[in-house]
Structure 1
């Protein structure tokens, strides 16, 4: 029990004065950073051919470390009161967001043994870039992001639904306005959705544009609506960030995991 608790303390975010935990945190952070660099460099064909063996050895080492860390977390989590029950406690721990991130960090490696399609294997190897998500555990800024999204999930979900509805509406109207004039550019409503997204986000690639008077009017209105619609989530998140920062400045102690006041 004592060993299990100590292992949990080491692999969790270091507390002041815990040298072993600090060293472990630094090692994991460095390994995450090097993994991201390795994935980027491995995409360069010349480097991949020249250092293929080195990349493979480093990948095996990284997977071994991350796998051991994942297993150690599942094994030692029962030292916490909320996960005290060996079976149900571990199951609840496994489905925590951070635990899922830990699993995703190693899953592509093991899945590559199942698939024989080279395209699938390449895609799985590229998914290693998501190991950077493990930084969430060690970064207070990333945890702040998580709390903000959790606090405003209903508002953000509503905004997303409004944006989706607007995209469908604009796509449908533009299809009926432009289909006859440009059947190759607006052959159907799903194809018109690409134009809607580009216009509503004010990106405006210029590859597809209206030529009819009605289409141009709709395009202008869509651009104006897009500015307001896509500003909504920015405002929601910005206000929530200000609230969280004010909480911290006010000296309120908050749980680093759930954001609740202590």
Structure 2
């Protein structure tokens, strides 16, 4: 029974009609919940607030039931862990945290502003709807693969912001003591300048300050472009080497091919993947390692499989 429930509530199981119907139902529930959350902010619709609150509570009740079922079936989601640890792992996962932040404020903390803001967390349910599709997987995989470069570029931006903030404070404080009162005021100016936002509420008036502002603005254009270039290059690399994993079993791979593991196959054993796709995996590329495939090898998100379609030999 638990396994059947798990197969139903897991998004993306197209082979199960009940699961597909549940996907449609939960999608409608999420959109309805978000819609009434937005509509409750319009005072012109005050006459319908009672209906909106009823819809909100019904959808929250559905979220509660779904949350409980996901905790109950978490041992199938993480088969390599014990029942207790699999449930704890789900509770601290992205889906588990979003579900919890969606439910708790409505029942216990609705009177506090900071927790009422957590109602926005229900919007992140939309990420879960797209979690098993190629577009979302490409984004998450690129960000994960390029995480070190992105962190380095962000660190450079922060250093430049701090340096420009202190420099501008030193130059402008005497001329504008009320505007550049401390280093934090300079930090606000450097953020809006380096990130090319340019609010214009704080700006230099001295000649030296304006010269520095010109230099910092040019540096900002170049520095902010670094992470953009890194991510763009990652997308190009990803699409060059990634085949569509969702339809790989229905396509003829006439030569050796590279296929990247997405969330549909992550966590599965290599033997099961080969049987499902009728393929033979010759090598697994993981980060900077080359792994010889074994039947019990567990695939991870982002692994690149070097494989060939076995039906070619049969034909």
TM above 0.5, yes or no, is: yes
Unaligned runs of 5+ in 2: 244-256, 267-300, 306-315
Aligned to 2:259: 252
- State how far apart, in whole Å, the 1-side matches of 2:191 and 2:132 are: 35
Larger radius of gyration: 2
Shift of 1:29: 1.6
Residue 134 in structure 1 maps to residue 134 in structure 2: no
Which stretch of structure 1 is more off in the superposition, 102-111 or 194-203?
A: 102-111
| CA deviations over 1:153-198 (Å, ceiling 9, x no partner) | 2222222211111111111000011011111211111011111111
Unaligned runs of 5+ in 1: none
Aligned to 2:174: 180
Larger RCO, structures 1/2 (Cα 8 Å, 6+ apart) = 1
- State how far apart, in whole Å, the 2-side matches of 1:253 and 1:205 are: 43
Flag the structure with higher helix content. 1
- Match for residue 74 of structure 1 among 57, 71, 74: 71
Q: TM-score, normalised by structure 1?
A: 0.88
Residue 261 in structure 1 maps to residue 304 in structure 2: yes
- Match for residue 89 of structure 2 among 74, 89, 92: 92
Distance 1:43 1:126, change over 3 A: farther
- State how far apart, in whole Å, the 2-side matches of 1:103 and 1:61 are: 16
Equivalent pairs counted in the alignment come to: 256
Aligned to 1:105: 102
Residue 204 in structure 1 maps to residue 211 in structure 2: no
Flag the structure with higher strand content. 2
Shift of 1:134: 3.4
- State how far apart, in whole Å, the 1-side matches of 2:217 and 2:233 are: 25
Q: What secondary structure is seen at the aligned counterpart in 2 of 1:202?
A: coil
Which stretch of structure 1 is more off in the superposition, 76-85 or 159-168?
A: 76-85
- Match for residue 44 of structure 2 among 30, 43, 46: 46
- Match for residue 212 of structure 2 among 218, 228, 232: 218
Aligned to 1:23: 21
Distance 1:120 1:94, change over 3 A: closer
